[in-house]
Structure 1
């Protein structure tokens, strides 16, 4: 019975890591064989912090926290990604077939950083 209970708690922890819901915050990651997608919905007042964090890491691309935008870009390390944003919403998409394994890990780490910014400042 303890093993079953431990297994259930591990599954719950994994689900929480993949999809966090906290009040007005919803974060979901879909990591498939051919793509990686990060979606987040959060309070509009967090948009400037999220935009600043992202803009610092995908420079020279700048994210405007007040406007709806869709940016398809290639970063200096040849990572090709799509960023869709609007106040309180963000989606980052990476096609694994068009990118290297290093690019995948860079974007995955970027998304983990975005998640940390959102959860740290969510009230």
Structure 2
């Protein structure tokens, strides 16, 4: 019995660390003729840095006010660029309709995706 309790006590911290590990990093880009889609699942600790970088990139617009915000809405920037943003701590998706936007807007969103990837992978 003591051996069993000892094994549980030794394994519990390892299980807790494994379950709380946020090393689950996934970044995907799908760029078709009609749509640009950027998705990222990343360490929740990178959320504030990601949100701050997005706000800097889209100035004078500002999407994230409270860094704990969950956002799932259509965004329209002052230059007319529109896209759908779905964001929660550790998760982000941008869906950009190419037919509803200009080539300049597409290039800006594509570069934004590259910058987000650097932040979530901690390459910034």
**d(CA) in 2 for partners of 1:104 and 1:97?**
10
Q: Which residue of 1 aligns with 2:41?
A: 41
How well do the aligned residues superpose, as a CA RMSD in angstroms? Answer: 1.7
The TM-score with structure 1 as length reference comes to: 0.74
- Which structure 2 residues correspond to residues 1-123 of structure 1 after superposition, within 5 A? 23-59=23-59, 60-63=61-64, 64-120=66-122
Q: Which runs of 5+ in 2 are unaligned?
A: 1-22
Paired residues, number: 100
Larger Rg: 2
In 1, the alpha carbon distance for the partners of 2:67 and 2:44 equals: 9
Q: Which moved more, 1:43-52 or 1:67-76?
A: 67-76
Q: 2:8 corresponds to which residue?
A: none
Q: Distance in 1 between matches of 2:34 and 2:96?
A: 9
Task: Output the CA distance in 2 between the equivalents of 1:48 and 1:102.
Answer: 27
SS at match of 1:52: helix
Structure 1 residues not aligned, in runs of 5+: 1-22
| Segment of structure 1 superposing worse, 65-74 or 94-103 | 65-74
More strand by share: 1
Relative to the length of structure 2, the TM-score reads 0.74
SS in 2 for 1:120: coil
